[in-house]
Structure 1
């Protein structure tokens, strides 16, 4: 078992990684809690036992289509019905979609109550459950409505990964590949516990330096601008981690188009994503370039005129704004085939 820390002053919290660490849940709850609202989904193999607390479980829908303001309204009305107070706690048990929703619901109830995440997916463990980003989707875009609301603790029980479907594991690997380009670490050379812990260490250090994404934290969005457009354009048939894998290749092609990196560095991206992580590097056929460009203009990371991306370059990853549509489309043409 490894206990890592996200250092945010008086809002610092622990992330516990290892097998069987769900047993540590009670140690992460606020001492004032008398009631716990557990948010989860059908099919998640987690049994929450908290002696002495009044526990009510809320089961939300599957998929990005359930990640909506309507779901938040249903949850907070449920909180009202159970008498949840500021001294109580919300517990999100599931993958990234569950922790995003649980965190946002907690941030809005009584203007913010404690939330603890029990992450059950690889993507959630290495990314979504850490760092306090919460939110839901609109028809116009992904995660456009949300808040920064740090959890009071996170559990990453590796036992859950034993039964995780292969596609869900690949989604986690898509986010893990992102860390490869952020740090250059050979994560696949580590055992699973060390690999997950290292990703958490990387994200915790970045979040501590830039909690609200005013600068450096934006680098964690490498590959995500195109990825989010792909998710919406495919009506979420392409899962988040799969879209991020393709987004990493697109970002490399765009960096090449802008003269920031050479062809060898683009090939290195393809070798890492396809070769080392065994992930897809091209989106499904038949996507419309105009729709994808329009979706990227709605991206919440956009700054000023033009489009904004995190791109590789001589100094490593950087946020680049004002990218012209000509280059955006040229890079897209190479991966749309």
Structure 2
């Protein structure tokens, strides 16, 4: 029987389907999940104190992770895989991640590569990781040239979004997570403003699960999940990952509205709605003051979606879609017209 205030969202991918549990205390489902996998050992990679991770019920290696985009590197993945090897982790075992989105991304990639694929279970501990990063099977690390440029698709066996983890988050981590929730407003989740956090997380996950089930490997529909991300990722890279992901996505969401208006895809009211939603969540709607817009355009050309010139996910008369071949001068003009701040 489902416990009060617990939700379950299923990511339907045939034999690779898996549940996402949301609610207080759901991390304690971990030993049962590990047992159902028949794992002999577990490697637990955690950015939170080890006592916040339940005993997986099998002999376990505890590895301290360093959360943050600067640690999302191939060197970190190699270090993890070597530790897995020393402990004897094989395909018959399980890897568990516990931390924010950078931890689930990096540990997920290590699990995907070790022995060509070891089962992984995610325990996301930040709002951003719970509403987005831990679900969908995208794993990746960064290069100096850009974010998430080296990765693999590797679906978890389960995701446990324990909302009690959120109680200790600093204010900046809440705002960071709201960046992903704000962009959901424009891609089909509806207006989530005013809902309880549990309901915002669950609604965001239901949307993502339905999109991933329809387009696991980003060949079409899944592009909508990258709303606001093209500029957001460029800003993260340009600032040496000093600008947090959710804040970059929020600025990118405002820009997406302005660019869609500049291209005649939406009207002024819909473009203003982007700013209103972003501001509601306490997110920035302006470019960092020292931003070089020509550098941003160069970085956006490296975006994984940019196979046919500058490419953005944009709102329009038929809804949100991937738009390629956007003229550089329009992008530059729209960037130049963005307000400047200190974010």
Say which SS state the counterpart of residue 300 (structure 1) adopts. coil
Structure 2 equivalent of residue 117 of structure 1: 122
1:31 Cα deviation after fit:
3.2
Distance in 2 between the 1:195 and 1:72 partners? Answer: 32
* Deviation by residue 1:288-316 (Cα, 9 ceiling, x = unmatched): 11111110011111122x20100111111
Tell me if the contact between 1:117 and 1:155 (Cα under 8 Å) persists in the aligned partners.
yes
Structure 1 equivalent of residue 181 of structure 2: 176
- The question of 1:333 aligning with 2:332 is answered no
Match of 1:298 among 299, 302, 315: 302
Tell me if the contact between 2:47 and 2:66 (Cα under 8 Å) persists in the aligned partners.
yes
- The question of 1:41 aligning with 2:44 is answered no
CA RMSD of aligned residues (A): 1.3
Q: How do residues 272-311 of structure 1 correspond to structure 2 at under 5 angstroms?
A: 272-274=277-279, 276-304=280-308, 306-311=309-314
C-alpha distance 49-249 of structure 1, shift in aligned 2 (>3 A): same
Structure 2 length normalisation: TM-score?
0.95
1:46 Cα deviation after fit:
1.8
* Deviation by residue 1:159-196 (Cα, 9 ceiling, x = unmatched): 01111111111111000011111125121232222221
1:61 Cα deviation after fit:
2.4
Structure 2 equivalent of residue 319 of structure 1: 322
Distance in 1 between the 2:189 and 2:120 partners? Answer: 32
Distance in 1 between the 2:37 and 2:208 partners? Answer: 27
Structure 1 equivalent of residue 255 of structure 2: 250
Tell me if the contact between 1:45 and 1:160 (Cα under 8 Å) persists in the aligned partners.
no
Q: How do residues 145-164 of structure 1 correspond to structure 2 at under 5 angstroms?
A: 145-164=150-169
Tell me if the contact between 2:228 and 2:250 (Cα under 8 Å) persists in the aligned partners.
yes
Distance in 2 between the 1:146 and 1:133 partners? Answer: 7
Distance in 1 between the 2:239 and 2:110 partners? Answer: 27
Tell me if the contact between 2:189 and 2:203 (Cα under 8 Å) persists in the aligned partners.
no
Tell me if the contact between 2:178 and 2:281 (Cα under 8 Å) persists in the aligned partners.
yes
Distance in 2 between the 1:250 and 1:278 partners? Answer: 17
Structure 1 length normalisation: TM-score?
0.96
Distance in 2 between the 1:79 and 1:287 partners? Answer: 41
Say which SS state the counterpart of residue 22 (structure 2) adopts. strand
Tell me if the contact between 1:130 and 1:154 (Cα under 8 Å) persists in the aligned partners.
yes
Tell me if the contact between 2:106 and 2:139 (Cα under 8 Å) persists in the aligned partners.
yes
1:50 Cα deviation after fit:
2.5
- The question of 1:58 aligning with 2:63 is answered yes
- The question of 1:217 aligning with 2:222 is answered yes
Say which SS state the counterpart of residue 159 (structure 1) adopts. helix
Structure 1 equivalent of residue 78 of structure 2: 73
* Deviation by residue 1:19-42 (Cα, 9 ceiling, x = unmatched): 011111122224321110111225
1:257 Cα deviation after fit:
1.3
Distance in 2 between the 1:116 and 1:62 partners? Answer: 17
* Deviation by residue 1:209-247 (Cα, 9 ceiling, x = unmatched): 000000000000000000000001111111000000000
Unaligned runs of 5+ in 1: none
Distance in 1 between the 2:112 and 2:181 partners? Answer: 27
Distance in 1 between the 2:124 and 2:212 partners? Answer: 18
Distance in 2 between the 1:278 and 1:214 partners? Answer: 33
Paired residues, what number? Answer: 334
Distance in 2 between the 1:109 and 1:61 partners? Answer: 19
